[in-house]
Amino acid sequence: MHLNLKPRNRLSKNPKKTRPARLGATISLLLFMIGLPLLSVFGMELLERGSFTNTIQWIVANQTLFFLNVGLSFCLLAFVYAIVGSLAISGSITTLLLGLMALISYMKVKMIGEPFFPWDILLNKESMDIASLVTGKAAMLRIGAVLVAVIVVLLLRWVLPRVTLPLISRIGLGLFSLYAMYAFGVKTPLAGKILDHAGVNEIVWNQQENYTNNGLALAFTLNVKNSIVPKPENYSDQSIAAVAANLQQSQTSGVQKASVSADPLNGKKPNVIFVMSEAFWDPTLLTNVKFSEDPLPTIHRLQKESTSGYLLSPQFGGGTSNVEFEVLTGNSMSMLPGGSIPYQQYVSKPVPSLASYFADQGYKSMGIHSYEGWFWNRNTVYKDLGFQTFKSSEHFQNPETKGYFISDAEVSRNIIDEVDKTADPMFIYTVTMQNHGPYDDPRYGENHFKVEGNLTPDAKSILETYTQGAHDADQSLQMLIDHFKDSSEPTMIVFYGDHLPMLGMDYQVYKEAGFINSSNTSEWSLEEVKKMHSIPLVTWANFDMPKQDIPLLSDSFLGAHVLDMLHMEKPANFALNSQLAAQVPGLLSNLVVDADQSLHTKVPDATKALLEDYRNVQYDLLFGKQYLASYIDHDYLSKTAQASYNAEFTDPDSSLRANGESTPEAKPVSAQ
């Protein structure tokens, strides 16, 4: 490779002076190409870990891993240089990219306990919306440090020697660097040997520990391959045929049992309303904290009177769409790469769900969300999930707001309005927004519910603001009950939250209240993992329904359970869910709860075969060749998206036809 290294003094004609200048230029080039990646990795880890001492300790204890991170940073620098052709400009671009990676990862960990993943790049507007919620001195200092570093490197343009590589050499350097990053990203055989020799231990099921142990650049690169879900080893037409045969046998016995069981509705179809309340949780579960009065009277009454229990959420503090994905499709996030977002990555074609199932049963299947339809790609995904219509905030008429967002009471009014003006029975999947974080600003004015306990003033304010919003959610549920208890239409309501709220950075309120012992999730006991992912679930119906106690149930198994409560025949994938839930009702990537409520890190041996069936079916429906539809429930499993999706919001005549109305006058809504 030929380097054209020219000294800054171009007027010099003395060869004796030119040779030292060229030597100095070569040394400067080497120092820059080696030194900048070293400093970049150190800076990234310092931003991420927040402590000079912790960063040095990690480097000393993991020297091989440190140099692997440096190597990847060098490849990025070399690749950018091959494109740009200027050392200083390439260095500043690389510093900016790596700095942004560290900043985003730091913010995500502080907010929801998850680092920065390759697929987060696909979030676009969502990432900007979340970033706007991040404030604080620590974040501002880190942003300032990154900007200063970028400017300092850029200023080196007037210090470094001008280095010119022939075009062919730059192309070669760029291709080599790109391949090296690709090799580690997809873990080619050679890269795998290097990683094994270096002692890299990839902890996919605990990504925060994965990043802490391996370093940000390396862990991020290794996660690239996790963007592609690998085919299960025993996935085949034959294995799916065996699952179908088992399901057909169980469906036959299920029909026989159903024929002798009581149907409280005598075949009449009830409205089925799911309300997934944003960040809803029971703050009275916090230890060492007391409230001036009960903030959740409706929830606590229903826990005594109706079917209720707890759902095991795959999320904490964010990732609402992943909970929707589990409930609506019956699929589990534990079968997908840690930190992935199916709505962004995997749902790009029709996927069978509760929405498409209820539509097949003669229901009007509707999604309601009091935020903008583009968020988490719902506008497109809801069509692929088989909804007939999706009412996002753009279609709310002069909505009431409370705090930052549309109020929960307004959402309840919209649910009531949609049911009252629709002739057909309705399946409604509702997602609220009012009590979305952050809670460090008393956005509801003076909070009615006062907290007593050993909390700092900041933690006390955060908890009181959150509790006020949780109370509003509780009252919005009561509004629905008050309306439908006197309705002639049989109606069932399923109410729960998507995840625990993020009550301050680093789990501040949870720690101060003694709910958990550490902000480091890798140090949590299995019991703490369970507590930090358990969400209250309550149901209500205006018709007789036996009370059941649900100790714990994964979100992915909720749909099958509700269909059982309604005495509705379950389609194939939900029938398989019931079988698995009977053995392991709680299923996360790092926690398994068996039928006796015992906690495990892995699925018990007796359940492994059934879990593999579940994994194969999920892969078949999302990524595979749809073998299952060839053997069972073909129409449901292979159903295409609704041709008239959202027509009622674009074509008024279609709206009237869909609602079974002959005039534009809607049924009156009872005053609440």
- Could you write out the DSSP letters of every residue in 475-528? HHHHHHHHHHTT-SS-EEEEEEESS----SGGGHHHHHTTS-S-S-GGG--HHH
**Distance from C-alpha of 268 to C-alpha of 542, rounded to nearest angstrom:** 13
State the Rg of the chain over Cα: 28
For the ranges 138-147, 315-324, 546-555, the lowest mean pLDDT is seen at 138-147
What pLDDT does 656 receive?
A: 42
Residue 12 has pLDDT above 80, yes or no: no
Band (pLDDT 50/70/90 cuts) for residue 265 is confident
Total Cβ atoms within 10 A of residue 252:
9
**Distance from C-alpha of 127 to C-alpha of 112, rounded to nearest angstrom:** 13
What pLDDT does 129 receive?
A: 52
Q: Which DSSP letter does residue 262 get?
A: -
Contacts for 363 with CB less than 8 Å, ≥ 6 apart: 269, 272, 424, 425, 426, 427
**Distance from C-alpha of 336 to C-alpha of 370, rounded to nearest angstrom:** 28
* Averaged pLDDT for residues 103-108: 83
From 490, 493, 439, 437, select the one nearest 462 (Cα to Cα): 439
- Phi, psi of 273, deg, nearest 5: -120, 115
What pLDDT does 23 receive?
A: 58
3-state secondary structure of 264: coil
Residue 27 has pLDDT above 80, yes or no: no
Under 8 Å between Cβ of 276 and 433? no
**Distance from C-alpha of 21 to C-alpha of 163, rounded to nearest angstrom:** 12
Q: What are the distances in angstroms from CA 563 to CA 28, 270, 424, 567, 578?
A: 70, 12, 19, 6, 10
**Distance from C-alpha of 628 to C-alpha of 619, rounded to nearest angstrom:** 11
From 387, 355, 395, select the one nearest 649 (Cα to Cα): 395
DSSP helix, strand, coil percent of the chain (3-state; round to 5): 55, 10, 35
Band (pLDDT 50/70/90 cuts) for residue 26 is low
State whether the Cα torsion 132-135-138-144 is positive or negative: positive
Residue in the structure block whose two tokens are 């001195």: 137
331 against 654, higher pLDDT: 331
The distance of Cα 627 from the centroid of its chain, to the nearest Å, equals 28
Tokens of 155: 């200023």
State whether the Cα torsion 413-414-420-421 is positive or negative: positive
Sorted by where each begins, the domain ranges of the chain are 4-227, 237-250+275-659
* Averaged pLDDT for residues 40-47: 90
Q: Could you read off the pLDDT of 521-563 as tens digits, one per residue?
A: 778 999 999 999 999 999 999 999 999 999 999 999 999 999 9
* Averaged pLDDT for residues 361-365: 95
**Distance from C-alpha of 167 to C-alpha of 173, rounded to nearest angstrom:** 10
Residue 126 has pLDDT above 60, yes or no: no
**Distance from C-alpha of 395 to C-alpha of 410, rounded to nearest angstrom:** 12
Count how many Cα atoms sit within 13 Å of the Cα of residue 284 in the half-sphere of its side chain: 14
Instruction: Indicate the pTM of the whole model.
Output: 0.77
Tokens of 176: 């080599």
Residue 274 has pLDDT above 60, yes or no: yes
3-state secondary structure of 388: coil
Residue 3 has pLDDT above 90, yes or no: no
Band (pLDDT 50/70/90 cuts) for residue 268 is confident
Residue 154 has pLDDT above 50, yes or no: yes
248 against 651, higher pLDDT: 248
- Which helix H or strand E contains 6, and what residues bound it? strand 4-6
Residue 391 has pLDDT above 80, yes or no: yes
Tokens of 343: 């709505």
What pLDDT does 668 receive?
A: 32
Band (pLDDT 50/70/90 cuts) for residue 10 is very low
Residue 245 has pLDDT above 90, yes or no: yes
**Distance from C-alpha of 344 to C-alpha of 377, rounded to nearest angstrom:** 7
Class of the CATH domain delimited by 237-250+275-659: alpha beta
Alpha helices in 261-377 (DSSP H): 297-305, 320-329, 342-345, 354-360
Total Cβ atoms within 10 A of residue 599:
15
From 572, 573, 571, 529, select the one nearest 552 (Cα to Cα): 529
* β strands within 199-357, DSSP E: 271-277, 289-291, 308-312
Q: Could you read off the pLDDT of 442-462 as tens digits, one per residue?
A: 899 888 999 999 999 999 999
* Averaged pLDDT for residues 318-345: 90
Residue in the structure block whose two tokens are 């016995």: 253
* Averaged pLDDT for residues 335-364: 90
Band (pLDDT 50/70/90 cuts) for residue 119 is confident
Q: What are the distances in angstroms from CA 244 to CA 103, 236, 427, 611, 627?
A: 48, 12, 27, 15, 9
Residue 110 has pLDDT above 50, yes or no: yes
Under 8 Å between Cβ of 433 and 280? no
**Distance from C-alpha of 55 to C-alpha of 312, rounded to nearest angstrom:** 35
Band (pLDDT 50/70/90 cuts) for residue 596 is very high
* Averaged pLDDT for residues 487-509: 93
Q: What percent of the chain has pLDDT over 70?
A: 86
What pLDDT does 25 receive?
A: 58
Residue 258 has pLDDT above 60, yes or no: no
- Phi, psi of 204, deg, nearest 5: -65, -35
Q: Which DSSP letter does residue 640 get?
A: P
Band (pLDDT 50/70/90 cuts) for residue 2 is very low
Mean pLDDT of the chain: 86
Total Cβ atoms within 10 A of residue 129:
14
| Residue type, position 32, single letter | F
Under 8 Å between Cβ of 396 and 403? no
* Averaged pLDDT for residues 44-67: 89
For the ranges 85-89, 329-333, 499-503, 659-663, the lowest mean pLDDT is seen at 659-663
- Which helix H or strand E contains 587, and what residues bound it? strand 586-587
Q: Could you read off the pLDDT of 399-457 as tens digits, one per residue?
A: 999 999 999 999 999 999 999 999 999 999 999 999 998 898 889 988 899 999 999 99
Band (pLDDT 50/70/90 cuts) for residue 1 is very low
Under 8 Å between Cβ of 110 and 506? yes
